[in-house]
Amino acid sequence: MYNVCTMNEFGDASSNGIEEIGGPHAPPLSRAVSLIIPAFDEAAHIAQQMCLLRDVLKESGWEFEIIVVDDGSADGTARAAAESGCDARILRHRRNRGYGAALKTGIGAATFDWILITDADGTYPPASIPILLGHAGHAEMVVGARTGPSVSIPIERRPAKAFLRWLASYLAGRKLPDLNSGMRLIRKDLVERYLHLLPSGFSFTTTITLAAACNDHDVEYVPIDYLKRLGSSKIRPRHAYDFAILILRTIVFFNPLKVFIPLGALLAVAGIAKFAYDVTRNNLSESAVLGMLGALIVWSVGLLADQNARIASSGGNR
């Protein structure tokens, strides 16, 4: 008879008769976190947000540092952050380089191996931070999913967000409750593994979500609230198209068959349907042949892309 004990996140045994299989691929990290706050033209409220975040982290019991990255603001955001009275490191881009670029700058300057990111616009409640930190021992990335009881997302954005979330979940092969939440806790080594893929724009969080999902990293989602924004939003309608293209590009990179097989199937069905119609007319049209040949070509390209993706993945895991 086996006496099974499980270990909690800090290595303490518990004899509940259940042995957990899974958890982070990498060894556990110390309770120390670098908070990265990207900011662009947020001078009016950056100091208040910094102080709220600092107070929450002080009560968490974690060692921490705060890094604010002013992404080329024209309203004195960096100066307001420096004068906030919070013990923080202030970095500034000389020109606006993008949300993802600001995050990469902050992560590159981070001291600790846990990275916590949040926005400076007041949409993500600081009170959610201890919840994310509490899951640090169980995952490589903990995402604050905007599915809590109080979520303030403009109605006009919801259809596009729902479609992109469905598309990403289908292509990734697992449910993604929130594709691009800006509040998440990530192991620094996970970010560094995919740094060459992470863009400089708003799609940074989308890309790291898809990369982790497609490569079977341990990701947990915890529900959080999402509050009304302070100031004006930097998101524009065209970004929905950019996100859709990014999702397809990222999935083709990691799991190309999810894209090429359905696309080839559509061509095959169209070609076969046209062929069946042609048979009734004692004819064989070029469109029927092209449809079936097109399906074979798309499937062949998909198989080659899948082979390359697997070779690249195995090489990166050595």
Considering the domain architecture, whether residues 98 and 126 belong to the same structural domain is answered as: yes
The type of residue at 199 is: P
Considering the domain architecture, whether residues 178 and 269 belong to the same structural domain is answered as: no
Q: Give the structural domain span for 281.
A: 257-316
At 299-314, the pLDDT tens digits run: 999 888 888 777 766 5
- Give, to the nearest 10 degrees, the angle between helix 257-280 and helix 158-172: 90
Considering the domain architecture, whether residues 99 and 192 belong to the same structural domain is answered as: yes
Highest mean pLDDT among 1-10, 59-68, 175-184, 191-200 belongs to 59-68
Does residue 17 lie within any of the structural domains? Answer: no
- CA 158, 162, 165, 168 dihedral sign is negative
Considering the domain architecture, whether residues 63 and 159 belong to the same structural domain is answered as: yes
pLDDT band at residue 151 under the 50/70/90 scheme:
confident
Lowest mean pLDDT among 18-27, 39-48, 76-85: 18-27
Considering the domain architecture, whether residues 232 and 307 belong to the same structural domain is answered as: no
Last residue of a domain, one of 239, 254, 269: 254
CB atoms within 10 A of CB 283: 10
**Based on the structure, what is the number of domains in the chain?**
2
Lowest mean pLDDT among 141-145, 180-184, 304-308: 304-308
CB atoms within 10 A of CB 27: 5
d(CA 174, CA 149): 23
Considering the domain architecture, whether residues 174 and 51 belong to the same structural domain is answered as: yes
Considering the domain architecture, whether residues 162 and 236 belong to the same structural domain is answered as: yes
Considering the domain architecture, whether residues 281 and 238 belong to the same structural domain is answered as: no
The rounded mean pLDDT for the chain is 84
Strand partners, 143: 184, 221
* Pairing relationship of beta strands 184-187 and 141-145 according to DSSP bridges: antiparallel
Considering the domain architecture, whether residues 214 and 228 belong to the same structural domain is answered as: yes
Predicted pLDDT at 25: 60
Cβ atoms of 45 and 231 within 8 Å: the answer is: yes
d(CA 305, CA 318): 20
At 21-34, the pLDDT tens digits run: 555 566 778 999 99
Tokens 């881009």 sit on residue: 93
Does residue 82 lie within any of the structural domains? Answer: yes
Last residue of a domain, one of 230, 254, 278: 254
Judged against a pLDDT cut of 80, whether residue 229 lies above it is answered with: no
